[in-house]
Amino acid sequence: MIKNDLFLRALKGETVDRPPVWMMRQAGRYLPEFMEIKEKYDFFTRCRTPELASEITVQPIRRYGMDAAILFSDILVIPQAMNIEVEMKPNFGPYLPNPIRSQKDLNNVIIPDIQESLGYVMEAIKATKEKLNNEIPLIGFAGSPWTILCYCVEGQGSKNFAKAKELCYTNPIVAHSLLQKITDTTIAYLKAKVEAGVDAVQIFDSWGGMLSPTDYQEFSWQYIQQIINALKDRTPVIAFGKGCWFALQEMAKSGASALGVDWTCSARNARYLSGGRITLQGNFDPSRLLSSPKVIKQMVTQMINEFGKDRYIVNLGHGILPNIPVENAAAFVEAVKEYKV
Ligand code: CP3
């Protein structure tokens, strides 16, 4: 049994004294202890070495005592396992030297054996669960098929992922076959993560908001729905779509346990669109952590009042930024722990 089960109870929609709190990208570059490890080991070495990945995962927990940990890894380990080369270039971000732009490129993309190619993630989960010692739950994650496709086709980050959209609109057959291959791999991967010990999973659709509502259904949501269908009876699933407030109504019917929202959607509108019954997670503007600790605490309290303490998980609306002072992140977590109705 997990000692602090606030997060799991919020996912079930149970009544709680205060909502649980964690931060997307909480294991990251704003933490000096993370930077120390980052200086010594390159990105994928950190991901592939269970001792390092588990240590990085628990760093923010030791410092702040969040109510859930999220495994240190990356969404791009999936294309890597599918035989698509992925580099993490310092001061640049992800770089895929051979992007997928045609049927010929797609032919080299495989659906991998998960234990063989991603067994190191399962080892990292086991090592992390040992370190967490049943104190708090551990979240596993994957990118949405659409968000993974964005990187596979574009070959790097982008403001508008124009090449990814171009493939979808000029060669939908190739786009859909790639999306289906990613979906099949992701389902097997998340099932293995649950077997290895994660207590919930989150799907990051970081670039879903690039699509029109109609295209979102066709190129993103239907694949996320397949993943939810395959996982929902094994573990709680959180679906986070950045900029996807327009799809909240559909998402609320999906079988997901919670929906992530970003800061462009008010609490009231998110509750209205999602029908008022499903657990919501979010949605503090990550840049707002640059305000003073005092202002952060006031704003977090107000955010909880707006969402309501039940069926709610306090989080940012996207990942924490590298330039956030450690004491400001502390104020965010403390405000939630000090919350009184
Ligand atoms: O949340 C956590 O603390 C767990 C770890 C985590 C990482 N990436 C570690 C990471 C998670 C959940 C991710 C998810 C991820 N990766 C997403 C979806 C979430 C989001 O923010 O939208 C995306 C789009 C990626 C792809 C990716 N990985 C990018 C664009 C970058 C470079 C940009 C950046 O922030 O530096 C990465 C690298 C990466 N993944 C870093 C970390 C801590 C920073 C680089 C490093 O540590 O060397």
Residue 165 lies in a domain: yes
Which residue, judged by its Cα, is nearest atom 41 of ligand 1? 28
Angstrom distance (rounded) from CA 19 to CA 313: 6
The pLDDT of residue 76 is above 90 = yes
The pLDDT of residue 308 is above 90 = yes
Q: Cα dihedral angle (289, 294, 299, 302), rounded to 10 degrees?
A: 150
Confidence at residue 341, expressed as pLDDT on a 0 to 100 scale: 84
Residue 235 lies in a domain: yes
Residue 1 lies in a domain: no
Which pLDDT band, with edges at 50, 70 and 90, does 278 fall under? very high
Which residue, judged by its Cα, is nearest atom 36 of ligand 1? 93
Residue 174 lies in a domain: yes
- Domain span at residue 83 reads 6-337
The pLDDT of residue 27 is above 90 = yes
Query: Would you say the CB of residue 38 lies under 6 angstroms from ligand 1?
Result: yes
Confidence at residue 217, expressed as pLDDT on a 0 to 100 scale: 98
% of the chain residues with pLDDT over 70: 100
Query: Would you say the CB of residue 76 lies under 6 angstroms from ligand 1?
Result: yes
Confidence at residue 321, expressed as pLDDT on a 0 to 100 scale: 98
Strand ranges, E, within 231-306: 237-241, 258-260, 279-284
CATH number at residue 170: 3.20.20.210
Q: Is the dihedral of CA 185, 186, 187, 193 positive or negative?
A: positive
Burial 169-184 (b: 16+ CB within 10 A, else e): eebeebbbebbebbbb
- The total number of structural domains that make up the chain: 1
Query: Would you say the CB of residue 43 lies under 6 angstroms from ligand 1?
Result: yes
Residue 272 lies in a domain: yes
Confidence at residue 340, expressed as pLDDT on a 0 to 100 scale: 92
**Distance from the alpha carbon of residue 91 to the mean position of ligand 1, in angstroms:** 13
Query: Would you say the CB of residue 75 lies under 6 angstroms from ligand 1?
Result: yes
Average pLDDT over residues 290-318: 98
Which residue, judged by its Cα, is nearest atom 48 of ligand 1? 43
Q: Could you give the C-alpha distances from 296 to 265, 286, 288, 319, in angstroms and in order?
A: 19, 11, 7, 16
Query: Would you say the CB of residue 25 lies under 6 angstroms from ligand 1?
Result: yes
Residue 92 lies in a domain: yes
pLDDT in tens, 80-136: 999 999 999 999 999 999 999 999 999 999 999 999 999 999 999 999 999 999 999
Among 56, 13, 18, 12, residue whose Cα is nearest residue 34: 56
Round the average pLDDT of the chain to a whole number and report it.
98
Residue 56 lies in a domain: yes
Percent helix / strand / coil, the chain, rounded to 5 = 50, 10, 35
Residue 200 lies in a domain: yes
Q: Decide: helix, strand or coil at residue 200.
A: strand
Supply the pTM of this predicted model.
0.97
Burial 3-24 (b: 16+ CB within 10 A, else e): ebbbbbbbbeeeebebbbbbbb
At position 280, the amino acid (one-letter code) is: L
The pLDDT of residue 156 is above 90 = yes
